[in-house]
Every structure is written in C-alpha cells, then in structure tokens.
Amino acid sequence: MKLLPHAMIPNNLVGLCRKKHTTMRQTTLRTLLQSESGLPPVLPPDTFTHNKSDQVIKLNGGGDIYHFGFDDELKLGSLNFGAIAVDEGIELKREEYEMLLGRLRNTADPCRQIFIATNPGSPGHFLHDRFYKTKHKNRRVINTTSLDNFFLPKDYIESLETLSGTAYDRFVLGKWVAYEGAVYPQFATEHIVHNKGKIHEALVCIDWGFTNPFCALVFTRIGVDTIHVAEEIYQPGLTQDQSKKIILDIMARYPVYFVTADPSEPASIEAFRRAGIPIQGADNDVIAGIRAVQDRFASGTLLVAPSCTALIRELQSYCWQDGKDQPVKVLDHAVDALRYGVLAWENRMSAGAIVPDVIHEPYGEDF
C-alpha cells in the first residue's frame, strides 16, 4: 500500500477515504488491519494503535492515518493531510475529489499526493477526463486487469472469463467503457477493427457544428451489407468553406454515392449542394436511428476503425436520461452522425436501391 511510507513520517496525517465510511470499514479498513483469505494484514498488529471512535490509527514512531467517508463533509473542513488514499474513486463526485485536493497542506510531508484505487467506470466520469484525456506531468495511471491479480482464486478467474462485451471490457480488462444506462451496450472491442479489404462504396454523414465540433463520418461497405466507419472528421471552429473542402477531399478519395446531414441546417445543406456535393437532409428520428445502430452492433454488421477515437469515446459514454426514453445531450456529435448514416443506409436498402459495384483499393492503414 503506497500510503504507508507517508504514514511513517512523524507528525504527518494521511487520509484513507471512501465515499461511505460504513463501506470503508467493511472493505479497505478490514484489509489494512485484519488477516483475510490466508493473507496477513497490511499493518502488523504490534505496529499501531487504533482509536475507533476518533477513526485514527497511530503508527508507532510515525504519523497518523485518519479513515473517513463523505457521510459528513463538514468534519473534513479543517484537516491537513500529507497524503490521501481513495478506494473506489468512481464513487466520488468531482467536487468531493476537489475538496480532497484542497486538504493536501500538511508540511510534514515533502511529497503531498493522492492515490486512487478504483474499478473503471463510464468514460464520462471526471476521473477519466482528469487522468486519461488531460495529460499532466504530475499525474500517473497504472492500468491493471483482473487477470493480473494472482491473489484471486482460480475458479473466480474462470467465472470472469464467462463475461462478454462491455461487462468483460470493464470488469476483466479494466477499460473505461459505458455500462449502466448505456445507449449502446452492444458496442464492444470486437467492433473496433481495421478493414484491409476492398472498398465497394462510401457514404458520408454529417453533424453540423462550429462552437461544437463539425463531425463527418465516412461509411464504407464490406461485403454485401456490413458498414465500416473508416474515417472521422471531428473538429470545432471550421468555416463552411473549410468543411465543404473536407467533404470534397473525402469524395476524391472514396467512391461516395451520397452525403446525409443533420436536417436542422437547410442553408448549409443547400450551400454544399451548390458546391456539387450530393447531399440531403437526414432522417432525424432519434429512437429509430438508435435502434438501427443497436441492431447492427448486435448483428456484427457495423464496425469502426481504431482511428475514429471521437466516435469510440462517444459510443462508450452515450447514456439514457434517468427514467426517460431520451439520451443525454452531451458528447453526441459523432453518435448523431452515426445514426443519420445508418438510417440512410437502411432506407436505401429497404427501397431496393441497386448498390453499384465500385471497388477502390484501401486508402491508408485504418481501412
């Protein structure tokens, strides 16, 4: 436990934290002070004294460990920690974590820091933003999987191997993927693939944006009816002329037969049409579009190139509003473009459109 060297510093106060103190006592504190599953406690019995009412563990010749939860935040206001260990960090809110940062002010510790142990959560969680998306020289992430834990019983590991999809990604591989309330729980790592085959035809789907990102996805066909999202443009601040140039460049590199776009911008659609782009307003039936995307992920007929990082991130974090048949309108530009494209593809197929047998060689390594 990396907290112990800090706790051994005389006059230092270190924190041991979990969202609820009752849960702390049943889990983290138990491992710290008691023998469990044939393993000795982290702290040998003769090296400390424990005042349960004050929630303080005094190390012989060292500092103090204060174990607590956020059951009563007012008690934390005057504490000065040299280090803090947080168990199950995904339970905390952003403001609770920031409160802990504001308590790292004990000058007895020459290297004040917070350690967090956690199972992964949704990629929309603030910890994912802080440690994965926002790089900083003073932050470090150590990724492990359940398969790395040699203390786990063999039969338990075997039971984990029966999981699949998002559950396997999160609980076995330790990946930050959406699960609870996810709009697309069918989306999993097996849908993220390179396409090294022939490109038969292409469709471009657009979600408009300036302050928000302008998003364009390039669909290509694999075989008879498998869609591969081969490329994404995901960029804020583009002028209309810049975005038109991007689509014309895509049309020069792919056999594009059609472009579909968010119908809420008819002036932009008309401007693109005047530039020679075969564009129409998309079917904006949200629920129908989501169901069509879900069905394709479930059947394995919708695949995504690894380079489409914005789309992958949104697919993993896109969630339903609590108690409503509506998705949360956050980080939805790529997934909106995705459903425009899938519905356009489905409508074209159901209308009996003849798919032209145009074949291009793959362009770049991610196709």
CA distance 321 to 327: 5
Tell me the average pLDDT across 311-329. 84
| φ and ψ of 187, to 5 deg | -75, 130
Residue 342 CA, chain-centre distance (Å), reads: 23
Kindly report the CATH class assigned to 4-118.
alpha beta
How many percent of the chain have pLDDT more than 70?
A: 91
pLDDT tops 60 at residue 358: no
Q: Looking at residue 366, what is its pLDDT?
A: 33
pTM, whole model, 2 decimals?
A: 0.54
Query: 73: closest CA among 35, 29, 20?
Result: 20
Residues 24 and 69: beta-carbon distance below 8 Å: yes
Whether the pLDDT of residue 182 is over 70: the answer is yes
In the chain, where the domains are located: 4-118, 189-350
Over 90: is that where the pLDDT of 354 sits? Answer: no
Average pLDDT rounded to a whole number, residues 200-208? 92
Residue 367: the pLDDT is 29
Closest CA to 218 of 303, 286, 293, 288: 303
pLDDT surpassing 70 at residue 228 = yes
pLDDT of 133 above 90 = no
pLDDT top residue among 162 and 273? 273
pLDDT class for 179, splitting at 50, 70, 90? Answer: low
pLDDT confidence of residue 349: 67
198 neighbors 359 (Cβ within 8 angstroms)? yes
Residues 6 or more apart whose Cβ sits within 8 Å of residue 264:
208, 284
User: Residue 19 has what DSSP assignment?
Assistant: S
| 59 or 161, higher pLDDT | 59
pLDDT of residue 166: 67
**What's the pLDDT score for residue 250?**
96
> Residue 29 is which amino acid?
L
pLDDT for res 147: 85
Instruction: Report pLDDT for 256.
Output: 93
Residue 32 tokens read as 């710290």
Mean pLDDT for 86-96 is 86
Residue 75 has pLDDT above 60, yes or no: yes
Give tens-digit pLDDT for 246-274. Answer: 999 999 999 999 999 999 999 999 999 99
CATH classification (class only), 189-350: alpha beta
Confidence at residue 277, expressed as pLDDT on a 0 to 100 scale: 96
Check whether 77 has a pLDDT greater than 60: yes
pLDDT attached to residue 86: 94
pLDDT band at residue 238, thresholds of 50, 70 and 90? very high
Q: Is the dihedral of CA 68, 70, 72, 78 positive or negative?
A: positive
For the sheet containing 202-207, what is the strand order? 279-281, 256-261, 202-207, 214-222, 226-235, 302-304
How far, in whole angstroms, is CA 169 from its chain's centroid? 11
pLDDT recorded at residue 154 = 82
Phi and psi torsions of 117, nearest 5°: -110, 130
**Mean of the pLDDT values across residues 5-22?**
90
pLDDT at 351: 55
Average pLDDT estimate for 80-109: 90
Q: Give the model's pLDDT for residue 350.
A: 61
Average of per-residue pLDDT values in the chain: 86
